[in-house]
Structure 1
């Protein structure tokens, strides 16, 4: 039962009286609600370093962006993957509808999920995405039920620096 009376303890119990500020060092990045007065489409959000934004993009080999999405700093990478991929439209030289699917995707560990890998398989797109250590350990812990590791080519993955260079050029 919550009442309007003040708590009788010297420190307070957190249910009564005025609201307390979050403790120092406590992460506020997990909040799902945007700042008051800040529209969701502005791409500003709280992360560990304060107000920040994230740039999600698909870049071609010439360091040119094919699609770009700006989100709040606390937004995860994996949920934005399909939105970035759906925004790709490369015009064809001889006319016709633009090409919307790449042949291969090079992505970092943040995009290593079962859902993304299955989406890529459904669209017949080859993937070069490293597997994080925790996913790898979980698969190994399951033994023969863990399945085969996803294919990964270190030599091809070296070309992922193109996306990082593209972001630096945009900044």
Structure 2
């Protein structure tokens, strides 16, 4: 599961893929699917992206920079063999604490809906349906309707 979650823990977009695929390969697709309804037109760009060190990639940072999105991704020590020259990458530890929302989302998802922890369904559409129902129920329990109003 590849997921983008708001700071409050509400899922913005979810995609599924093979278990052997790295999350970094689907980052751009997940970011392109973000659509938050507003009064005029849907918002498709967050102000800032908080991701763990596995997303420390030049292509991901370039994609975010081209769309005008701030990246808050720590440097992965496995990617650096020697010191890089030039402008250092942006990392703010104070706002990085909010990244716990994605960890809480997966904890709620796996503790509340055990069927999604181990995938038993053969068809992607059935698994995605269960995943959508689980996300809807999580948002409903947390009062998503009150936030939208």
* Alignment TM-score > 0.5, same fold: yes
Q: Distance in 2 between the 1:149 and 1:135 partners?
A: 14
Q: Distance in 1 between the 2:29 and 2:2 partners?
A: 9
**1:115-167, CA deviations, whole angstroms, 9 ceiling, x for partnerless residues?**
000100000000100111133343x1x5xxx3232011111111101011111
Higher RCO (Cα < 8 Å, 6 or more apart)? 2
Larger radius of gyration: 1
Q: Distance in 2 between the 1:96 and 1:148 partners?
A: 37
Aligned to 1:121: 65
Aligned to 1:105: 49
Structure 2: 5+ residue runs without aligned partners? Answer: 111-149
Q: Which runs of 4+ in 1 moved over 4 A?
A: none
Matched length: 110
Structure 1: 5+ residue runs without aligned partners? Answer: 1-54
TM-score normalised by structure 1 residue count = 0.61
Name the SS for the 2:9 alignment partner.
Answer: coil
TM-score normalised by structure 2 residue count = 0.69
Measured on the aligned residues, the alpha-carbon RMSD in Å equals 1.3
More strand by share: 1
